[in-house]
Amino acid sequence: MKIVVLDGYTENPGDLSWGELEKLGQVTVYDRTSLTDEEEAIARIGDAQVVITNKTPITKRVIDACPSIRYIAMLATGYNVVDYAYAKEKGIPLSNVPSYGTAAVGQFAIAMLLEICHHVAHHSDTVHAGKWENCQDWCYWDYPLIELDGKTMGIIGFGRIGQQTGKIAKAMGMDIIAYDSFQNDAGRAIARYVDLDTLFAQSDVIALHCPLFPDTQGIINRESIARMKDGVIILNNSRGPLVVEQDLADALDSGKVYAAGLDVVSTEPIKGDNPLLKAKNCIITPHISWAPKESRQRIMDCTVENVKAYLAGAPIHVVNR
């Protein structure tokens, strides 16, 4: 069994092992494969029966050019880089990793919020640069410091990750409200479910944890921002296109939105003309919420189990049945 990993570096830059996967067949791992040159993907897949990808597209043309493909596995939850409908038509199951980073992504959302509230890294840098040593007062702060106790966090998308973020925020004394099409008792133990207009009107902090669907694309836009409190904080470590970026940049520059913490943008890697790069009070990190070693090990473990199950004739976590 030939197995090819097209873009393994972000999953395993050297601190994990491919050993368990290598027990299942002849494995070739490429750190990176072009996201735009289909010929490179075709050449690297060759006559492999199992293809493992993260962000490298597996298009109809790639599938047609590689007739040996029998199974595709994602090193991720999202699978839109694969033409999954065509793969189904060709009898090729596609499996993903349904859950691996709940704790890490929730933790990261709160990390961005705390950085906005306290600017810890900035103040540490100023101390190391000598500002405290030369200060005429015994302390100083360069930004307003914000206490979260008693404030309201509104979470759009209240599945596993949204609930994890809510648990942490609630432990800090925040009141949690949530909007989700699918309400459950686990969510009710953490938050009050409300409609979207209520969430926009009442939240001091809005955290996005919803999938990217046609009805959620651009959910943060000029009109929805106008319905929010003045000085609201917006967090997004879900999907970049949930935000209309120019509208958010304008709101940050006007002060309507006090600050934003973003781990995702509409085009990744970010383009130099993204308006958020020059917006006021905007923290942007390079899509790393998912990336603690513990989370990546879960991806590795689940991917191995996915391939094992396929080889045993009973594929699991199939998203294109």
Range of the domain at 182: 102-284
31-40 residue pLDDT tens: 999 999 999 9
Q: Which residues are catalytic?
A: 239, 268, 287
CATH of the domain at 61: 3.40.50.720
- Half-sphere exposure (CA, 13 Å, Cβ side) for 108? 26
Q: Do both 90 and 106 map to the same domain?
A: no
End-to-end CA distance of the chain: 23
CA distance 282 to 116: 9
CB neighbours of 304 closer than 8 A, spacing ≥ 6? 20, 21, 24
Nearest to 122 by CA among 263, 278, 283: 283
- Same domain membership, residue 94 and residue 123: no
Indicate the number of domains in the chain: 2
pLDDT in tens, the chain (321 residues): 999 999 999 999 999 999 999 999 999 999 999 999 999 999 999 999 999 999 999 999 999 999 999 999 999 998 999 999 999 999 999 999 999 999 999 999 999 999 999 999 999 999 999 999 999 999 999 999 999 999 999 999 999 999 999 999 999 999 999 999 999 999 999 999 999 999 999 999 999 999 999 999 999 999 999 999 999 999 999 999 999 999 999 999 999 999 999 999 999 999 999 999 999 999 999 999 999 999 999 999 999 999 999 999 999 999 999
**Is residue 320, in this structure, part of any structural domain at all?**
no
Two tokens at 175?
Answer: 């009141």
Residue 160: which of 77, 90, 233 has the closest Cα? 77
174: which 2 tokens? 């925040």
Contacts 24+ apart (CB under 8 A), 85-94: 85/320, 86/60, 87/58, 87/63, 87/320, 88/320, 88/321, 90/63, 92/63, 93/310, 93/315, 93/318, 93/320, 93/321, 94/318, 94/319, 94/320
- Maximum Cα–Cα distance for the chain, whole Å? 73
Asked if residue 205 and residue 172 are part of one domain, the reply reads yes
Does 160 fall in a domain? yes
- Position 321 in a domain: no
* Residues 113 and 222 reside in one and the same domain: yes
pTM reported for the whole predicted model:
0.94
Same domain, 212 and 303: no
CB 188 within 8 Å of CB 129: no
